[in-house]
């Protein structure tokens, strides 16, 4: 300031023809310097810590000095160590008054940290205010999810015992569960739901997870599964006695929805009716609920009087009943 005054004084005495311009410039400079020197901003106390990413936060402030029309107060967030080297704007307030509250939001991608600070700046004049003075804790948000798996005692059909299990992520330490069948609440507050009196084709089983994890966004998620009651009945095999290498037709009926690419497969038991190591004797690419499969008794099949035949499906996977009567080979 002293150096500037000396230069202005020299100009004043050495260049009389520019005296008026110099004096005007000096007056403007002095006014601006005085204007900025008197302006201050103090960021107030921030309540609500710890915060979650995506949370709202209210930033109070008080300023001293004259702030002209069009001035914008800006709330800035430091990094997790309290540095404002690269501040993040979290809210603005268009006003020239000397106090206010800026409505802000913690950016959703903010990382977990315990050393955050907030400060308020202005645009006209450009002033950087003090920070709030107390470290703020911010926790990163987590996204909960849930899916359903079914442990089935047989085919998922009426009067079949089925155990449904919720498979959650980011559920917290005390999650809550609500099961529903076709929108009606059933079961207990548990990750497991067992029933033996469900289910019809097309029934919807769902579970709602309420996460207790801090900063879960959203806190409530849902999973659904549609019951596809696929059951297969192997029909009566015409001609109860066959030679090896003989052809035969295996009729069947099914219930439920078979998806594109489903393969029906006819299987032959061993000579005592066991399907421990079944032998494939024919197949049919179909989604039909009734048909017959053209089959051949394998030429190397040992003779026996206790053979059985059953039909299975691939999409969805389902194992049908056997034909119910022993076959002689």
> Which residues of the chain, if any, have pLDDT below 70?
1-37, 151-160, 197-202, 229
What backbone phi and psi angles, to 5 degrees, belong to 114? -120, 10
**Secondary structure of residue 36 in the 3-state scheme:** helix
Rounded Cα distance, 309 and 248, in Å:
11
What pLDDT score does 231 carry? 81
Structural tokens at position 325: 């009567």
What pLDDT score does 1 carry? 42
**Secondary structure of residue 304 in the 3-state scheme:** coil
Structural tokens at position 19: 């005296």
Handedness of CA 13, 16, 18, 19 (dihedral sign): positive
Taking Cα atoms as reference points, which of 43, 48, 56 lies closest to residue 82? 43
For residue 50, whether the previous peptide bond is cis, meaning omega lies within 30 degrees of 0, is yes
Rounded Cα distance, 279 and 282, in Å:
9
What pLDDT score does 318 carry? 84
Rounded Cα distance, 139 and 132, in Å:
19
Q: How far is CA 270 from CA 135, 305, 308, in A?
A: 76, 10, 8
What pLDDT score does 37 carry? 53
Is the pTM higher than 0.75? The answer reads no
What pLDDT score does 5 carry? 42
Taking Cα atoms as reference points, which of 232, 293, 285, 289 lies closest to residue 261? 285
Rounded Cα distance, 257 and 240, in Å:
31
């Amino acid at each position: 300031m002293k150096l500037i005054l000396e230069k202005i004084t020299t100009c004043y005495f050495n260049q009389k023809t520019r005296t008026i311009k110099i004096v005007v410039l000096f007056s403007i400079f002095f006014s601006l310097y005085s204007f900025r020197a008197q302006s201050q901003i103090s960021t107030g106390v921030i309540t609500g810590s710890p915060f979650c990413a995506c949370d709202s936060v209210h930033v109070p402030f008080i300023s001293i000095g004259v702030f002209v029309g069009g001035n914008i107060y800006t709330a800035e967030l430091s990094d997790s160590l309290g540095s404002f080297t690269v501040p993040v704007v979290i809210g603005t307030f268009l006003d020239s008054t000397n106090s206010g509250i800026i409505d802000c939001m913690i950016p959703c991608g903010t990382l977990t940290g315990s050393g955050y600070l907030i400060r308020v700046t202005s645009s006209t004049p450009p002033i950087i205010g003090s920070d709030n003075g107390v470290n703020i804790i911010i926790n990163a948000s987590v996204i909960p999810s849930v899916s359903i798996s079914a442990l089935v005692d047989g085919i998922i059909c009426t009067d079949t015992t089925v155990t449904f299990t919720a498979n959650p992520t980011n559920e917290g330490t005390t999650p809550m569960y609500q099961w529903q069948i076709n929108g009606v609440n059933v079961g207990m507050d548990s990750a497991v739901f067992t029933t033996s009196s469900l289910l019809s084709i097309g029934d919807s089983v769902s579970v709602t997870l309420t996460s207790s994890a801090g900063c879960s966004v959203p806190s409530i998620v849902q999973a659904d599964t549609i019951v596809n009651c696929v059951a297969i009945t192997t029909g009566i095999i015409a001609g109860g006695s066959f030679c090896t290498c003989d052809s035969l037709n295996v009729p069947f009926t099914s219930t439920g929805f078979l998806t594109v690419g489903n393969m029906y497969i006819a299987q032959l038991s061993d000579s005592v009716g066991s399907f421990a190591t079944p032998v494939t004797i024919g197949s049919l690419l179909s989604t039909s609920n009734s048909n017959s499969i053209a089959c051949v008794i394998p030429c190397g099949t040992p003779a026996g009087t206790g053979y059985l035949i059953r039909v299975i499906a691939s999409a969805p996977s389902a194992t049908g009943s056997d034909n119910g009567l022993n076959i002689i080979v």
